[in-house]
Amino acid sequence: MTSTDVRPELAAGLTFPPGFTFGAATAAYQIEGAVDADGRGPSIWDTFSHTPGRTFEGHTGDVAVEHYTRYPQDVALMAELGLSAYRFSVAWSRVLPEGAGRVEQRGLDFYRRLVDELLGAGIDPWLTLYHWDLPQALQDRGGWTARDTAARFADYAGVVHDALGDRVRHWSTLNEPMCSALLGHMSGQHAPGERNPVAAARATHHLLLGHGLATQVLRERGADHLGVTLNFTPMTPATDRPEDVDAARRLDGQQNRMFLEPIVHGAYPADVVADLEAAGAPLPVEDGDLEVISAPLDWLGVNYYFESTVRVGVRSPDRPTSFIGAEDVVELDPEGPTTTMGWGISPDAFTRLLLWLGEEAPGLPLVVTENGSAWPDEPAEDGAVHDPERSDYLVRHLAAVTDAVAKGADVRGYFAWSLLDNYEWARGYAQRFGLVHVDYGTQRRTVKDSGRAYADILRRHRQAQEG
């Protein structure tokens, strides 16, 4: 591999703590394809993506990047990049096609094969139990709006741990419950596509309860490196007018604190509880729930992409809010360059976020479980994929992590989103986040320049460790 020419001095100067984990992340529905293979049951994303008008040009995850059959090649790519870890999710409906009850051994066997391939290549598996793909059978019984789904999630966690606990050390319960709850039930941008504040509040609490119940089950089975992944978007008021400051407080409450605080402090933020009650959408908390939700963890997964500036204003009707009772709040278009997702680029906000989390959750190690950017990459005439913007984003955000570490944040690892170009949910295949380009016609994989830049950084880190 050749080195990148993007920000070489910055990249060369990056130093990370000893034992720092470097990986890349994916999620089941975004890469696996093979939706009918080996007894897999349908998930809410199969239903949603096949519903006309829900996703970009009707794209679905039916084929995705065929990781289900191409995983040996993909693990070989990870080894080529020099990754020490790989974060992936298990599709609940491959393991329990009806969401509960009957176990599909062939589904578990796939993940066993994948894990063995990783271990054989010296790559540490980091397993996420839930990355948004609820079995449709459970959705038919109310999905996350039903309290019972939390208990079914804990059962599922036990089944997966019984099968893989002997070979996977790093476990995560949920990925980004904010998206499952609020994008899935408030704005309806994601499956199951509801627009109902009461459902959104119920889903929020039941996801967190499911996390807590699954944590108990995994602990009983001996899990000793257990975490959860939350997505954080720092919210800044556009002006110092009290109504804009309050708008930022409200969105920060639901985006960030509503998920973090019950887990690390055992209580929902009082202001968020009041906002939700005022909106007629209370959190359905029962006695003892918060003790379950706040069971101690070994690490907190942090997903960060961009920050947001907000103010009170009139929303365009085609952009429904994801936040309960926040129909009067608008998020401003970012200033400066944006990725193809339309997201701004703010590495400084990433440093501040990591430092804030260090204060909010003292003693809890942080792991960046996702960070990355989408760009319009295509192979050039020389056959390579030149993506200087992604390399730039990557290096600047890695530098933001080292800044946070230098200022005292306990960050133990970084997973780039994503290993491969993949199915970007409602945005379909139009958004490419991979370090590795995928030609969706041929499924050919090509390591992008940014993948090579990442590999260089990892190699330098290894060499520094080896002295």
Residue with tokens 């929902």: 268
Residue 331 β-bridge partners: 310
- CA nearest to 258, candidates 179, 142, 343: 179
Q: Which is nearer to ligand IFM, 30 or 149 (CB)?
A: 30
Residue 128 β-bridge partners: 89, 172
Task: Find the shortest distance in angstroms from Cβ 54 to ligand IFM.
Answer: 16
User: Which of 74, 176, 194, 244 touches ligand IFM (CB under 6 A)?
Assistant: 176
Task: Find the shortest distance in angstroms from Cβ 5 to ligand IFM.
Answer: 26
Sequence-separated (6 or more) residues with CB below 8 Å from residue 166: none
Q: In 3-state terms, what secondary structure has residue 160?
A: helix
Report how many helices (DSSP H) and strands (DSSP E) the chain contains, helices first. 18, 13
- d(CA 424, CA 56) in angstroms, rounded, equals 10
Residue 436 tokens, joined: 């590795």
Task: Find the shortest distance in angstroms from Cβ 176 to ligand IFM.
Answer: 6
Sequence-separated (6 or more) residues with CB below 8 Å from residue 336: 344, 345
Task: Find the shortest distance in angstroms from Cβ 30 to ligand IFM.
Answer: 6
Marked catalytic residue, from 104, 117, 176, 194: 176
Q: Which is nearer to ligand IFM, 25 or 293 (CB)?
A: 25
- CA nearest to 210, candidates 87, 367, 357, 92: 92
Asked about 176 being catalytic, the answer comes back as yes
Q: Which is nearer to ligand IFM, 299 or 433 (CB)?
A: 433
Whole-Å CA distances, 197 to 221, 235, 321, 391, 396: 36, 21, 10, 39, 37
Q: Residue 144 interacts with ligand IFM (CB under 6 A)?
A: no
Q: Which is nearer to ligand IFM, 144 or 433 (CB)?
A: 433
Site for ligand IFM in 292-351 (CB under 6 A): 303
Q: Which is nearer to ligand IFM, 60 or 303 (CB)?
A: 303
Q: How far is CA 383 from the centre of its chain?
A: 31
- d(CA 109, CA 185) in angstroms, rounded, equals 33
Residue 414 β-bridge partners: 22, 368
Q: Which is nearer to ligand IFM, 268 or 323 (CB)?
A: 323
Task: Find the shortest distance in angstroms from Cβ 264 to ligand IFM.
Answer: 21
Site for ligand IFM in 419-448 (CB under 6 A): 424, 433
Residue 422 β-bridge partners: none
Q: Which is nearer to ligand IFM, 4 or 175 (CB)?
A: 175
Q: Residue 27 interacts with ligand IFM (CB under 6 A)?
A: yes
Site for ligand IFM in 388-417 (CB under 6 A): 417
Asked about 220 being catalytic, the answer comes back as no
Residue 373: other Cβ atoms inside 10 A:
26
Q: Which is nearer to ligand IFM, 244 or 392 (CB)?
A: 392
Task: Find the shortest distance in angstroms from Cβ 277 to ligand IFM.
Answer: 29
Q: Is the dihedral of CA 304, 309, 312, 317 positive or negative?
A: negative
User: Which of 46, 74, 331, 370 touches ligand IFM (CB under 6 A)?
Assistant: 370
Task: Find the shortest distance in angstroms from Cβ 291 to ligand IFM.
Answer: 29
Marked catalytic residue, from 32, 117, 370, 389: 370
> What is the size of the binding site for ligand IFM (CB under 6 A)?
8
Task: Find the shortest distance in angstroms from Cβ 427 to ligand IFM.
Answer: 8
Q: Residue 133 interacts with ligand IFM (CB under 6 A)?
A: no
- HEC per residue, 384-452: CECCHHHHHHHHHHHHHHHHHHHCCCCEEEEEEECCECCCCHHHHHHCCCCCEEECCCCCCEEEEHHHH
- CA nearest to 95, candidates 150, 51, 152, 46: 152
Residue nearest to ligand IFM (CB): 27
Active site residues: 176, 370
Binding site for ligand IFM (CB under 6 A): 27, 30, 176, 303, 370, 417, 424, 433
